[in-house]
Amino acid sequence: MDDLMVLTEEEVRYFLALLSWEPSGEDDEDEDEDDDIQEKSRMPVVPAGQFMFLVLGAKGCGKTSILERFCHGSSAKEVEDDESLDSDEQERAYRHSMKIEDQTYIFNALELPSQHLSNEERLKQAVRITEAAVIVYDVRSRASFGLASEIHNRVNNLVGGERMYGLVLLASNSDCEDEEREVSWAEGNKLARSFNIQCTFAETSAKTGENIDEMFTQLGKEALKLRWLNRQRREQIEQISIDTHQCSIELSPLKRVARWRSWARPWFQRRAAERKTSAPY
């Protein structure tokens, strides 16, 4: 008996209460919800789709800083310290997840160095594998502003009439001092409105993050819309091709001649009747 654990009367009542306790339905639901939340947090998010964007602009215009800010959320000081990256002309690829209307999409961006702009085949390949382009210029550099217009012309010629292509014109370093600015907001907006490809315009700052997330989200929405329009366009072209093929099968050479005669006979008959009435007696 000495080895047995002796419980006081209060402890006995406590353990009996524990043994007789049954959880209520509400407690079960709360526990189930907690389990579901934990389970969902452990499950990987399956993206609804991916975007392929092209980022172009003059050397040192701020392309890299804008992408670093959007994809990595760099702070103002980090972006300022990394501005030297923009002068290091290298081809870079960026990947970032973004949400559009509660759906997760993967953002893929290809930053093309300015020296590749003169390489027609390289630029053509980049446009072919992407569905939209972001053209960047620096508000402190009129030269980069002029190059933005030239870039649009090249992209527009490569896209042609084959498909609808998205376009955004971004002005970087909007937070600069007034005396540093060489290109006004009105000039940038006017340039975007003059483009043959429908273009959205905004001034941005990689240091403050102004308009960066908003513009890329807007570009994603525009890309989804263009996908739908391009799909509709392809379906229409395919239907026209099918109808044309069926028509060519139905109208064999002999049938074409017969149909031509049926169309032309009334005209010849009318001409013959006119000759008879106009013939001198």
Q: What is the mean pLDDT of residues 15-38?
A: 50
Give CA 5 to chain center in angstroms. Answer: 72
pLDDT at 6: 47
49: amino acid identity, one letter:
G
Look up the CATH architecture of domain 49-232. 3-Layer(aba) Sandwich (3.40)
Share of the chain above pLDDT 70, in %: 63
pLDDT digit string, tens, across residues 149-174: 999 999 999 987 778 888 999 999 99
Q: For residue 76, is pLDDT > 50?
A: no
Share of the chain above pLDDT 90, in %: 32
pLDDT at 232: 81
Strand partners, 98: 105
pLDDT at 146: 95
Q: Which residue has the higher pLDDT, 17 or 242?
A: 242
pLDDT digit string, tens, across residues 172-183: 999 999 999 999
The 10 Å Cβ neighbour count of residue 162 is 10
Q: For residue 77, is pLDDT > 70?
A: no
Which residues lie below 8 Å from residue 217, measured CB to CB, with a gap of 6+? 98, 100
pLDDT at 21: 44
Q: Which residue has the higher pLDDT, 150 or 85?
A: 150
